[in-house]
Amino acid sequence: MISPVFAAEPTDIYLTPSPTAWQQVAPLCSRSSRRWMAQIHQLCLDAVLQWLRTDYPRAIATPINQVSYWEFVDGCAVELDRTTHPLRLVFIPSTALDTSELRVAQEWVDLPSWVGHCYLPVQVEPDDGWMRVWGFVTHRRLKQQGVYDAGDRTYAVTAEQLIQDMNVLWEAYELCPQELAQVPLAALPPLSLAQAENLIARLGSPEIVLPQFELPFAQWGALLEHGGWRQRLYQRRVGLPEQWSVRQWLTVQVSQLAEQAGWERIEVGSMAGARGSGDRTSSVLLSRSLHIAEQSYQLQIFPEGAMEQNIWRFELRRLPTSAETDSPSIPQGTKLRLLTEDLQPFDNNEATAQTTVDRLYIVVALTPGEGLVWEVEPTPEGYQREILRF
Amino acid sequence: MSLPFKLVLQLNVAVSTSHCGMRPRQGLVELFSTFLAFDADRVQGWVADARLRRRMERCLTESASPPTSDAFWGVYWHKAWQTQTDRLARDHLAAYVQEVCYWVAHKATAYLERSPDTISDCFQTTIAQLDKVLQGFDAKRHFSFKSYANLKFNSLLKDTLRQRRVVDICTPWALLLKLSKRRLVEALQTAGVSADTTQRYVLAWDCFKALYAPAAPATSTRKLSKPNRTTWDAITTLYHQRAAQLTDRSRVSPDTLEQWLMTCATAARQYLYPTWVSMNAPKPRQEDSEFLDALGQLDTDTTLAGLEAQETRLQADQVSQVLQVAIDQLEPSAQTLLHLYYVQGLTQQQIAQQLGVQQYTICRQISRIKRSLQRRLLEWSQETLHNSANLDVLESVSTALDEWLSVHLASSLG
């Protein structure tokens, strides 16, 4: 083992995952080299979260499962929970021996929903079982001083352009958070459903090793920014069957990816003290918990009547806190919204709490195979778009 | 952008003359024109470079009231190097940082157990990184060339030694996965590969990385064998696709790609073991007209920097005072930790072993102590200079603290 003494600078954050962490099962990717990097990413994400949570107990990975990012680009995103000043950090793990530069994939810098406040290089030494965070750069500095490399679509900054001391980041976050503000980015022109389907069909083949270079960045970015489409592209490339079929979740079981996203199947009989279940005709329902403005909620989906009729009910409820005795209410202004797969509204697709209400719900009749995207306002913690198939 | 304050820290290299026969240098002319000479692994003494000496003497006689602080001349020559107005600037600075390099090397050899690296090897390795120090120094952000050089050389040397140990046991294919793109490009440039060819090699390397990987993180990433034929074919196919996307339609065979990548690995290995530039050995040369040039006007920027440097000595003392008071108020355990780390120069790992805890615990504790000292320094600078906190101010406070801890604390208590 080569001692890390040479590596440890007083400003470095030094992380040592447990030896067993290195034995974890690697996330699924379309080829072994990506799979290996995805495993490095998972390790890095776990270690970084553990480190951050000593000072910021509510730090979370956003989204929870980032393997569909790692299939395409390097980097993992973490959000420190501060409702007033959200701080999104993007860690870029690398197995390079040298720390002479930080290279960030353009997706992390130019996609409005991916962008971070700060980017942090992580040097990973798998053989000796350690990693170190050796600096950071703000989004603004990366955009202004970084050199864009059209060859591999990355922004690169040299070690000298990074701020080496992580304490500067924490101090800035506390004393002058406006200093960490991102450069405003223009939204990319959206893709039509047909365009997206074509791209997913074409780029879904694992034969295409680096799909991002097969099309202009604007189109690629628009495809990737839509969480549901990114998931589908990833699924195709790794050869997974449809993971988002609600019917299958109800009749067989919830798929692995959906489970990781937080969905579970519940037998109604087993729901102790379920309130207001009188209007429920189904014996099973799908449910996932959400955290919105420091409160816990539940989003439920179940068929109205027989599943063949394809009429579905989406229902949002708040869970009581330990201090509450009566039925918990949803604050005024909260919205539950459904959109088509390409994010278009339709008639009666939104339910808004005009006053405090005990639940929000929407009932929709769908054609078989149709996809829907749900949204809630205010946005739940770690929210990630998903296309549910009915 | 103005700094909240400027520190001028004198590196106190108080050397007892018995130690390795190195006497401290006297005066500006010596500081900027003499070099350490080694005999095997021992310091023989100082050797003057006649050109540099004459040049420095002329600088001092030709200006009406030449600044007397070496910090000023450090900034001055750095400026001259940056603006390429003086071809000797780099050599003057190489002379200036001789002791810094020596002590950095000395400290590193103390870390290394059973190391083949002698102090003179380490010294050469250190001074060979001078260009990185020159590139990294920024008179607006750092306090003095010397204290910046001290920190930078120190981390560069530690990195280099660690990297060499890994590289020594890496196969070429493993090494290729352990390079940053910047490092690869630098290595190829140093090996004299043309810009066009470098571009092709780098693209080949990109394709190699996209398709080749260790079996799993749990297995060694240092003993990777050559990719098999199928992988080479896949790399070749990908190379052709990517090259075409970048409008290069030339065809290459898998064997050619393999050759290219071997060249990359060899260049990277050599880059870590440079043959010594003999910048350290004074070379008597024919004087050419260059040395008879009149000294250019000192530009106002640099003069100002020098004036500032002289005026802020008092402030540096104040900073020292603020920090000293803050340290005195720390818990005894925190003071002990600072002492072990900065004064005794133990590594975090050694401290962890001594205290029976994990290294990351030490890392976290040092980081917390430093944050409290930073906060104190920031408050002080806001009280005295009425600046508001922003990233630049926070960064310069952090730099000031680092320089103070690693230079001043070490020499005041050591």
What single string gives the DSSP state of each residue in B326-360?
A: HHHTS-HHHHHHHIIIIIS---HHHHHHHHTS-HH
CA distances for A116 relative to A112, A138, B299, angstroms: 9, 8, 41
Contact A305, A320 (CB under 8 A): no
Digit-coded pLDDT (tens) for A144-190? 999 999 989 999 999 989 999 999 999 999 999 999 999 999 999 99
- Nearest neighbour of B359 by CB, restricted to A16, A36, A95: A16
**Six-digit token pair at A100?**
């002479």
Interface of A with B in 335-374 (CB under 8 A): none
Residues of B in contact with A144 (CB under 8 A): none
Is B398's CB within 8 Å of A165's CB? yes
Which pair of tokens denotes residue B43?
Answer: 């310091």
How many Å apart are CA B153 and CA A9, to the nearest integer? 12
Chain A's closest residue to B362, CA to CA, is A14
Most confident residue range from A224-228, A283-287, B40-44, B219-223: A224-228
In the prediction, which pLDDT does B116 show? 64
CA distance B245 to B158: 40
Structure tokens at B394: 């926070």
Chain A contacts of B389, Cβ < 8 Å?
171-172, 175-176
Instruction: Return d(Cα B220, Cα A80) in angstroms, integer.
Output: 34
B14 touches chain A (CB under 8 A): no
Model confidence at B3, in pLDDT bands (50, 70, 90)?
very low
Single-letter amino acid, residue A182: Q
The predicted pLDDT at position A17 comes to: 83
Radius of gyration of the CA atoms of chain B, in A: 25
Residue B169 CB coordination number (10 Å): 13
C-alpha to C-alpha distance for B132 and B129, rounded to whole angstroms: 6
pLDDT confidence of residue B326:
92
CA distance B121 to B10: 26
Q: Which residue of B has its CA nearest to A72?
A: B210
Are B359 and A16 spatial neighbours (Cβ–Cβ below 8 Å)?
A: yes
How far away is chain B from the Cα of A214, in angstroms, using its nearest Cα? 8
pLDDT for position B14: 35
Of A100, A167, A175, the CB nearest to B180: A100
Give which of A168, A179, A217, A220 to mutate to test B binding, by max B Cβ within 10 Å: A168
> In this structure, are strands A76-80 and A60-61 parallel, antiparallel, or unpaired?
antiparallel
The answer to whether the beta carbons of residues B404 and B323 sit under 8 Å apart is: yes
The predicted pLDDT at position B176 comes to 96
Q: What is the DSSP letter of B29?
A: H
For position B160, what pLDDT does the model report? 86
* Phi (first) and psi of residue A177, to 5 degrees: -60, -25
Q: Whose CA is closest to A49, among A64, A29, A70, A34?
A: A64
Q: How many whole angstroms separate alpha carbon A86 and alpha carbon A76?
A: 16
Instruction: Indicate yes or no: CB of B350 within 8 angstroms of CB of A5.
Output: yes
Residue A371 corresponds to which tokens in the numbers above? 């996809």
Contacting residues of A for B202, CB less than 8 Å apart: 151
* A15 neighbourhood in chain B, CB within 8 Å: 360
Q: Which residues of A touch B135 (CB under 8 A)?
A: 160
Q: Cis link prior to A112 (omega < 30° from 0)?
A: no
Asked if B217 and A163 come within 8 Å (Cβ–Cβ), the reply is: no
Is some CB atom of chain B closer than 8 A to the CB atom of A223?
Answer: no
Q: B350 to chain A nearest CA, in Å?
A: 9
Residue B214, chain A, CB below 8 Å: the answer is yes
* pLDDT: which is higher, B279 or B401: B401
Question: How distant, in Å, are the alpha carbons of A319, B10, B160 from that of A97?
Answer: 49, 33, 9
Cβ atoms of A43 and A22 closer than 8 Å:
yes
- A347: Cβ contacts below 8 Å, ≥ 6 apart: none
Closest CA to B211 of B238, B246, B244: B238
Rounded mean pLDDT of A47-74?
A: 91
A vs B: CB pairs below 8 A: 176
Give B225-282 pLDDT, tens digit per residue.
Answer: 899 999 999 999 999 999 998 888 889 999 999 999 999 999 999 998 876 544 444 4
CA distance A98 to B180: 7
Q: Which of residues 15-34 of A touch B (CB under 8 A)?
A: 15-16, 22-23, 26, 31-34
Structure-model confidence comparison of residues B211 and B13, the more confident one: B211
Note the pLDDT tens digit of each residue in B269-283: 999 887 654 444 444
Beta-ladder partners of A376:
A336
Cis status, amide bond into B67, omega within 30 of 0: no
**Bigger pLDDT: A19 or A301?**
A301
What are the beta bridge partners of residue B181?
A: none
Residue % of chain B over a pLDDT of 90: 35
The reply to whether A209 touches chain B by the CB within 8 Å rule is: yes
Cα(A120)–Cα(A107) distance, rounded to whole angstroms?
A: 15
**Does B350 contact chain A (CB < 8 Å)?**
yes
Interface mutation vs chain A, best among B112, B181, B369, most A CBs within 10 Å: B181
Cα–Cα distances (Å) from A184 to A109, A112, A140, in that order, read 11, 8, 9
What percentage of chain A carries pLDDT values higher than 70? Answer: 93
Residue with the two structure tokens 């603006």: B83
Q: What is the mean pLDDT of residues A84-105?
A: 93
Contacts of A4 in chain B (CB under 8 A): 162, 349, 359
Q: Is the pLDDT of residue A133 over 70?
A: yes
Rounded alpha-carbon distances, angstroms, from residue A227 to A104, A233, A254, A315: 20, 10, 19, 22
Mean pLDDT of chain A: 89
Rounded to two decimals, the pTM is 0.87
Q: What is the pLDDT of residues B139-189, one digit of tens each?
A: 776 778 888 898 889 888 888 888 888 888 899 999 999 999 999 999 999
Kindly compute the dihedral angle of the four CA atoms of residues A265, A268, A273, A275, in this order, to the nearest 10 degrees: 100
Indicate the pLDDT class of residue B290, thresholds 50, 70 and 90.
very low
A14 vs B178, B186, B359: nearest CB? B359
- For tokens 């949204």, the residue is A375
Residue A345 has pLDDT above 70, yes or no: yes
pLDDT at site B179: 95
Residues 153-172 of A with CB under 8 A from B: 156, 158, 160, 163-168, 170-172
Which of A10, A33, A160 lies at the smallest CB-CB distance from B210?
A33
Average pLDDT estimate for A234-254:
91
- B100/A contact by beta carbon, under 8 A: no
Q: Which of residues 22-61 of B touch A (CB under 8 A)?
A: none
Q: How far apart are the C-alpha atoms of A343 and A190, rounded to whole Å?
A: 9
Share above pLDDT 90 across residues of chain A, in percent, rounded to a whole number: 67
Rounded Cα distance between A199 and A261, Å, is 24
- Residue A117's identity, in one-letter code, is H
Q: How far apart are CA B170 and CA B215, in angstroms?
A: 16
Q: Write out pLDDT tens, residues B57-79.
A: 988 888 777 788 888 899 889 99
Using a 10 angstrom Cβ sphere, with 0-12 exposed, 13-18 middle and 19 or more buried, the burial of residue A325 is exposed
In A, minimum Cα distance to B405 occurs at A10
pLDDT at residue number B155: 85
Token output for A75: 């980097």
pLDDT band at A25 (very low <50, low <70, confident <90, very high): confident
Burial class (CB in 10 A: 0-12, 13-18, 19+), B6: buried
Enter the tokens of residue B177: 């996965």
The DSSP element (H or E) to which B182 belongs, if any, is: helix B181-190
Tokens 């310091």 correspond to B43
- Residue of chain A nearest B220, judged by CA positions: A127
**A102 φ, ψ (degrees, to nearest 5):** -120, 125
Question: What mean pLDDT do residues B322-343 have?
Answer: 90
Name chain B contacts of A180, Cβ cutoff 8 Å.
391
Confidence at residue A72, expressed as pLDDT on a 0 to 100 scale: 96
Measured between CB atoms, does A110 come within 8 Å of chain B? no
Are B242 and A3 an interchain contact pair (Cβ–Cβ within 8 Å)?
A: no
Position B5 scores a pLDDT of 39
Taking 90 as the threshold, does the pLDDT of residue A327 lie above it? no
Per-residue pLDDT at A20: 83
Residue A312's DSSP bridge partners are A303, A364
Cβ of B390 within 8 Å of Cβ of A176? The answer is yes
| pLDDT attached to residue B243 | 92
Nearest beta carbon to residue B349 from set A3, A95, A167 = A3
Cβ within 8 Å of A, B 111-140: 111, 135-136
Confidence label for B288 from pLDDT (cuts 50, 70 and 90): very low
Inspect the interface and report whether the beta carbons of B212 and A165 lie closer than 8 Å: no
Q: Could you report the per-residue pLDDT of A270-301, keeping only the tens digit for each?
A: 444 444 444 455 588 999 999 888 889 999 99
Sheet harboring A295-303: ordered strands across? A263-267, A284-292, A295-303, A311-318, A359-365
Decide if A172 and B406 are in contact by the 8 Å CB cutoff: no
Cα gap B205→B180, rounded to integer Å: 11
Residue B296 has pLDDT above 80, yes or no: no
Q: Which residues of A160-194 are buried (b: 16+ CB within 10 A; e: fewer)?
A: ebbbbbbbbbbbbbebeeebbebeeeeebeebeee
CB proximity A95 to B under 8 Å: yes
- What confidence score (pLDDT) does residue B4 get? 38
Judge whether residue B291 has pLDDT over 50: no
On the 0-12 / 13-18 / 19+ scale of CB atoms within 10 A, A207 is exposed
Q: Which pLDDT score is estimated for B293?
A: 37
Give chain A's radius of gyration (CA, Å). Answer: 22
Q: Answer whether B217 sits within 8 Å of A22, measured CB to CB.
A: yes
